[in-house]
Every structure is written in C-alpha cells, then in structure tokens.
Structure 1
Amino acid sequence: MPRPHREIPSQRLAASVAQSAASPKPHRPPWLGIVIAIVGWALLAYPAIILGLVSFIIMTGASDTGTTAPAIALGILGFLATLAMLAFPLLLGLAVKARRRSLWIAACLTGVVTIGACIYLAVEWFIPLGSL
C-alpha cells in the first residue's frame, strides 16, 4: 500500500539546506566590532598622521626645489596608504562581527597595505638607514 502524501518528504529543498537552516551560527555582540575599530584607530592614528604629512611634503616639493612626477606618484600612494590605515580597523571590526568572507578579504588587503606603510615609515623616516 502506498504511503499517504503527508508522509512523503519534500523534493523542493535539499536535505543539507534544510539542516543548515535549522542551526544558525551564534551572533557576536556589536560592541566587539566597535572596540576593535576604536583600538585600531588609536594604534594607527600617529602613523597615519605622519604618513599624510610626509605625503603632502613629498607631493608639494617643500623639501626640494621642485616637484617631479615620481614625487607626485609617491605622494598619491602615501595618501592611498593613509586611507587604508583609516579603513583597516573598521573593516576588521566588521569582519569579526559579521563573519562575511568579502569583509575578511577587504580587511586583509587593507591590512597588508597598512603593514607596508608602517614598515615604510619605520625604515625610511623614523630610522633612516642612510645616516648610519
């Protein structure tokens, strides 16, 4: 004898989709992302201000007699690195809070640029190796 219609499982949803919808991931508190962003901005405030000033000085040619195309390009790269320093803590806080792959990718990319900018500042401006 065939089974009644109400006992036949639905063919519309796959079993894995139905099971994953039943157990959602626990949410992280929003204050965690806020704390990460504020601490990150506090740590990167000084290097970001210094890099912005250095980029402005290089771009305007205040340290030399004139402005050249490489100096303008280096200044623009410095300003882009400064923007990455401002965006990195916020993106990291959002990635920790929301657990989305796109936010993690953006946070990693801006983090790499931020680390590169901090190394550039430390090696080229804070500890000039040419004067040793």
Structure 2
Amino acid sequence: MPRPHREIPSQRLARSVATSATTAKPHRPPWLAIAITVAGWALLAYPAILLALLSFILMTESADSTSAAPSIILGVLGFLVALAMLAFPLLLGLAVKARRRSLWIAACLTGVLTVAACIYVAVEWLVPLGVI
C-alpha cells in the first residue's frame, strides 16, 4: 500500500527539514482544557459578577443625571471586560490543548483585560469598603 502524500518528504526541502516537518506534536488530552476552564471560571466568578453588577449600577444611576454619557460608557466597558473575564479561561484551555498561536494571542489579550479588571475591582471597590 502506498504512503499517504503528507508522509512523502518534499524534494525541494533539505532532508532534515523534510523529516522534522512530518513529525507532529502529540495532542494534549481534552480533560486538561476542561480542567483549566472550570478552574478559571471558579476563580473569576466573584470578580466577574461584581464587575457586572457595578457596571449595571453605574448605568442605571446615570439616568437621572445630566452627565449620563461617561457613566454609560464606563458601564458598557465594564460589561465588555466582564465578558473577557468569562472568555479568558476557555481561550486559555483551548490554547493549551490545541497549541495554536491565534488562540494564545486571544488568551493573552483577554488575560490582560482580566488582570486589569481584577485589579480595578480590588483597588477601587473592595479596599475602600474594607472587604479585603
């Protein structure tokens, strides 16, 4: 039986490059991605819910004031960052499992937003209230 086309080394490449290109990285188990996602959601549940509630409060209290635009914009940005906090563990789990550069870039971007949101919630809201 003939070999599949993907296993035949190219005649244009050097021999060492042709042999290294045919070896694929082993796939990581799917339970690893599930574990990372569930653990991330468990860690980020409280800050994400708190940020979503704070964003909702900012948007609803601004209906009576004359300068409603800044607080509405902050509320919408808060909701977007809360969505990034929801997406970060899933993207990180998929990036670890699939080993794709695009997933790593998306996970890093949402991770930066998540860390910034956690710092904002802790410094602006929890420390002045004496919760931490």
Q: Report the TM-score, using the length of structure 1 for normalisation.
A: 0.82
- What's the counterpart of residue 14 of structure 1? 13
Q: Which runs of 5+ in 2 are unaligned?
A: 1-8
Give secondary structure in 2 for the equivalent of 1:24: coil
For 1:101, the equivalent position in structure 2 comes to 101
Aligned to 2:49: 49
Distance 1:11 1:25 in 2: 19
Equivalent residue number for residue 5 of structure 1: none
Give runs of aligned pairs for residues 24-63 of structure 1, distance below 5 A: 24-61=24-61
2:92 corresponds in structure 1 to 92
How many Å separate the matches in 1 of 2:99 and 2:80? Answer: 26
Cα distance in 2 between the residues matched to 1:18 and 1:65: 68
State how many pairs are aligned: 119
> What TM-score comes out, normalization by structure 2 length?
0.82
Give the aligned CA root-mean-square deviation in angstroms.
2.0
Question: 2:118 maps to what in 1?
Answer: 118
Instruction: Give ranges in structure 1 of 5+ residues lacking alignment.
Output: 1-9
Match of 1:55, SS?
A: helix
Report the more deviating stretch, 71-80 or 20-29: 20-29
